[in-house]
Structure 1
Amino acid sequence: MKTIIKSHKINCLLCLATLVIGITSCSKELVYKNMPGIYIDKEKLTARDSTAYSFAEKSATLMLDTIYIPVKISGELSGTDRIVPLEANAAKTNATAGTHYQILPTVVKANELTARAAILVKRTPDQKTKQLRIYLEIVPNAEFPLAIANTKTNSTFNGEPSATYKPGYLIKLTDQILKPDTWDGSGSWFKYYFGAYSAVKFKFIIEVTGRTVWGDRARYGADAPTSAQLQVYYTKVITALYEYEKINGPMIDETGNQVTFPKI
């Protein structure tokens, strides 16, 4: 009987020791430091993964412009300013730093979550014949050591995020007429008033209206025209095309198709 009691006591002591060790171990595991990271905030971008910038849609005298890329931190706020570690991926970029673009120094200010990284783009003669690429990425540094692979949209479907965003962002830079990213987007006034896109048609629209900045879907944002303005633009391009065809015959676009506008 004495032996059994002694064995029972030993077992109890072993269990207690195991419990103490387990609690100590768990306590160590629960000590967690949230490493800070930063990512391109694609929720604030109309074109999530890339944007096309064309100097051909701007004034002929415009030689420099700035594109802003929203960024957002993860982790805790900081009481000091932190530099945004945004760089161009050399393997995916054919534009030349200093000649075609410059990533301007940007900081996330103390006790703030967001900032806008500024990319200075420059007009050069070679953009008349080719499209340049600037592929931007966040490169972790001492202030933002956490590498963030993907981010998810705030909107959900069946309880899950409806989209996942890749970390990089592409700027397509040229001095040629480019199709606006949102021409065919849902509710686009580009498509409603002007129909199918072609470079010849869009250049004609710009020349007739004098407008080079259209905003998202030619409908949303401070840069977009009003519906009344678009009605005026529509009348102008219809009239101008009629006058053109009286003298030159049908206007043919780069695909060999006749330029037309929808009947509204």
Structure 2
Amino acid sequence: MKTIFHNHRIKFLSLIALLIMATCKKDELKYEDKPGIYIDKEKFVGVRDSTSYSFAEKANTLMLDTIYIPVKISGNMSTVDRAVPLKADESLTTAISGTHYQVLETKIKANEIIARVPILIKRTTDLKTKQVRLFLKIETSAEFPLKIINTKTNSTFNGEPSNTYTPGYLIKFSDQLLKPDTWDASGSWFKFFFGVYSAVKYKFVIDVTGRTVWGPRARDGAEAPTSTQMYIYYAKLVSALYEYEKLNGPMIDETGNQVTFPKL
């Protein structure tokens, strides 16, 4: 009798175990990550939480330009297009929608995980005397209900992410001459060829070279100059500064310091 009872107990426990496993598998099949979306700051070069843009560096005829914000989803791809819920945070924004900027409607295409949201920025007369701020943020939506607070860099240090990015992205723009965000970035040709930044020096650089579009670090992207061009610019600047000083004495910048260029 004990042996029969023992066998029945084993069979009973085995049946319970199989039922639990089946239930777990069913739950696993039902489980899905909630989809979310975030600004993909790994795609930016140099400063990754903000950018400064100046129409003063562009041709006088340019009245409208576009800044692209890369976004990426978390969770699974979808078989349908989904709208990117990128909006302006009005509490942190001084730019006026429709007057200074427009966020164009963008979708994550079916079976894709990334997109670029075009932000139109407009050259208005008031930008000659002020800088406006546009702070962009991702909102949750029916298609992207998961709110993502922080994202981490793909690169690691001692096994841990080397940086954590906060949500949101700030665009500062004006029609005044501004210091390029990547002037002092690692490997920047701005810093290597031109030295310490000042507005007077930068205006001199633009006037002598005739170049207003440099690209990040003056070396990244399709619009950036080549190293040969940079050496030519450098030679022109050193020569032009020498001629200026012969006629006027030292060129003094807005901080009271003499404008100079590095010795290469």
TM-score, length of structure 2 as denominator length = 0.90
Residue 248 of structure 1 corresponds to 248
Secondary structure in structure 2 of the residue aligned to 1:242: helix
1:40-66 C-alpha deviation (Å, 9 max, x unpaired): 111111131001111011011111000
Residue 76 of structure 1 corresponds to 76
Q: Which amino acid aligns with 2:245?
A: E
1:154-182 C-alpha deviation (Å, 9 max, x unpaired): 11111111111111000011111111111
User: By how many angstroms is 1:216 displaced?
Assistant: 2.0
Say whether residues 1:62 and 2:62 are aligned partners. yes
Secondary structure in structure 2 of the residue aligned to 1:190: helix
User: By how many angstroms is 1:192 displaced?
Assistant: 1.1
Residue 137 of structure 1 corresponds to 137
Q: Which amino acid aligns with 1:56?
A: A
Residue 118 of structure 1 corresponds to 118
Secondary structure in structure 2 of the residue aligned to 1:217: helix
After superposition, the CA RMSD in angstroms is 2.3
User: By how many angstroms is 1:149 displaced?
Assistant: 0.8
- Return the alpha-carbon distance in structure 2 between the equivalents of residues 62 and 28 of structure 1: 59
- Return the alpha-carbon distance in structure 2 between the equivalents of residues 258 and 126 of structure 1: 31
- Return the alpha-carbon distance in structure 1 between the equivalents of residues 132 and 83 of structure 2: 26
Residue 31 of structure 2 corresponds to 32
Q: Which amino acid aligns with 2:52?
A: A
TM-score, length of structure 1 as denominator length = 0.90
Secondary structure in structure 2 of the residue aligned to 1:71: strand
Query: Quick one: percent identity of the two aligned structures?
Result: 66
Say whether residues 1:194 and 2:194 are aligned partners. yes
Residue 95 of structure 2 corresponds to 95
> 94-103 or 140-149: which moved more?
140-149
- Return the alpha-carbon distance in structure 1 between the equivalents of residues 23 and 54 of structure 2: 59
Secondary structure in structure 1 of the residue aligned to 2:201: helix
- Return the alpha-carbon distance in structure 2 between the equivalents of residues 129 and 245 of structure 1: 30
User: By how many angstroms is 1:209 displaced?
Assistant: 0.5
- Return the alpha-carbon distance in structure 2 between the equivalents of residues 82 and 136 of structure 1: 19
Tell me how many residue pairs correspond in the alignment.
261
- Return the alpha-carbon distance in structure 1 between the equivalents of residues 60 and 141 of structure 2: 40
- Return the alpha-carbon distance in structure 2 between the equivalents of residues 98 and 147 of structure 1: 27
> 63-72 or 173-182: which moved more?
173-182
> 25-34 or 241-250: which moved more?
25-34
- Return the alpha-carbon distance in structure 2 between the equivalents of residues 61 and 222 of structure 1: 21
Say whether residues 1:179 and 2:213 are aligned partners. no
Unaligned runs of 5+ in 1: none
User: By how many angstroms is 1:246 displaced?
Assistant: 2.1
Q: Which amino acid aligns with 1:39?
A: Y
Say whether residues 1:218 and 2:225 are aligned partners. no
Unaligned runs of 5+ in 2: none
User: By how many angstroms is 1:232 displaced?
Assistant: 0.9
- Return the alpha-carbon distance in structure 2 between the equivalents of residues 60 and 248 of structure 1: 29
Q: Which amino acid aligns with 1:183?
A: W
Residue 262 of structure 1 corresponds to 262
Q: Which amino acid aligns with 1:94?
A: T
- Return the alpha-carbon distance in structure 1 between the equivalents of residues 11 and 230 of structure 2: 84
> 17-26 or 182-191: which moved more?
17-26
- Return the alpha-carbon distance in structure 1 between the equivalents of residues 16 and 130 of structure 2: 70
Secondary structure in structure 2 of the residue aligned to 1:72: strand
User: By how many angstroms is 1:13 displaced?
Assistant: 11
After TM superposition, list the pairs within 5 Å mapping 1:203-242 onto structure 2: 203-242=203-242
Q: Which amino acid aligns with 2:176?
A: Q
Secondary structure in structure 2 of the residue aligned to 1:251: coil
> 53-62 or 28-37: which moved more?
28-37
User: By how many angstroms is 1:28 displaced?
Assistant: 7.0
